[in-house]
Structure 1
Amino acid sequence: MILPEQFDQNELFVLTSLLIFYSLLFWLPNRFPLSLIILMMISSATVARLTDHLLSGSKMNLYSIMDLDKYELFDFFTYLLYAPFGYFLVYGYDKFKLQGISVLLYILVWALGATAFGEISLLFGVFKYKEWEASYSFTYYFIMISLMLLVYRFFKRSYKLHKVEIYNR
């Protein structure tokens, strides 16, 4: 894997974000079985990787990630940021037992927060927009967050069907 040409603010931002997000993840009390945590985190990271491949790849090329147009080590690290994002998303959704209009508000808040984090990442040079805009990010996150919550509900229902205990502490 290619190393960055120089270690600067975007690599530092990614490492700092990883440290904060994963520290918070391990600090939170367990709510779910380990298998469900892994499923949600892998789902989040995979969706991010596939989306970035489609949108920042050679065909569309709407934005680039990190310093090089080639896949580098810190590109991989950016995908690791999406795993706790998915976990925190379903953690709050489950903890607060949201229903009705509160689910829509929850999705809106998360989409705004994710868009804001993307804009902060842009300031630190993690992303470089070519044909991309923040409004696209909001729309994308709104759709993806909605889908992630549906996936979580599917997993949760599957666990209940198979009588696997969901903690929900």
Structure 2
Amino acid sequence: MASILLVEEKFDTNDIYILCFILISYLGLFLLPKLFNKKLDTCLIILYGILSATILDSSIGAHIYDFYDIMDGKHYTIMDAVVYLLYGPFGYFFIYGYKKLHIKGLYTVIYIVAWSLFSLGVDKVNVLMGVFTFKNGYQFFFSFPIYLYVQAFLLLFYKFIIKKSHVA
């Protein structure tokens, strides 16, 4: 059985960048005033972010499509898995802002579009920092409909867990 490496070649700038980004994101998450009644709600939102990124990246970033590499190359490393931890706080911040700003109606669509555009900006920085390397014709704006879908579904998931937690 082959062992999984920490990094592909060497621990460098993109590894340091992603670890700092994750540390700052989770620190921000824990320092924000609490808005959710149950810790389980917070855990589910964070888990949704991590799992949705993992599933979608495994779908379009690997296998038959192979649109991009994560971190330093095509081989899966521990640092590739660590990247997915970044998506947990983003989901949390998305729902946090939605709840804190009391967004309703048409503003929900605007909010989702704004977050999707913000996510593209983060993707662009991640590409510049070597977290993602696009290939086979993939462009960063191709991720826009994916972000629209993921964030809209996260909002539905949030409403579902809130409804269920009030019933219990």
TM-score of the superposition, structure 2-length normalised?
0.93
Whole-angstrom distance in 2 between the partners of 1:50 and 1:81? 14
> Aligned AA for 2:64?
K
Q: How does 1:2-41 map to 2 (within 5 A)?
A: 2-4=5-7, 5-32=9-36, 33-41=38-46
Alpha-carbon offset, residue 58 of structure 1: 2.1
Match for 1:106 among 111, 114, 136? 111
Runs of 4+ in 1 over 2 A off after TM superposition: none
Q: Deviations 1:9-64 (Å, cap 9, x if unpaired)?
A: 21111011011101100100111111111111111100100111111112110111
> Aligned AA for 1:19?
L
Q: How does 1:63-74 map to 2 (within 5 A)?
A: 63-74=68-79
User: Unpaired segments of 5 or more residues in structure 2?
Assistant: none
2:89 is paired with a residue whose SS is helix
User: Unpaired segments of 5 or more residues in structure 1?
Assistant: 163-169
Match for 2:89 among 77, 84, 87? 84
Identity %: 33
RMSD between aligned alpha carbons? 1.0
TM-score of the superposition, structure 1-length normalised?
0.92
Q: Count the aligned residue pairs.
A: 162
> Aligned AA for 2:6?
L
Whole-angstrom distance in 2 between the partners of 1:19 and 1:35? 21
| Partner of residue 65, structure 2 | 60
Whole-angstrom distance in 1 between the partners of 2:78 and 2:90? 20
Whole-angstrom distance in 2 between the partners of 1:81 and 1:147? 18
Alpha-carbon offset, residue 136 of structure 1: 1.0
| Partner of residue 167, structure 1 | none
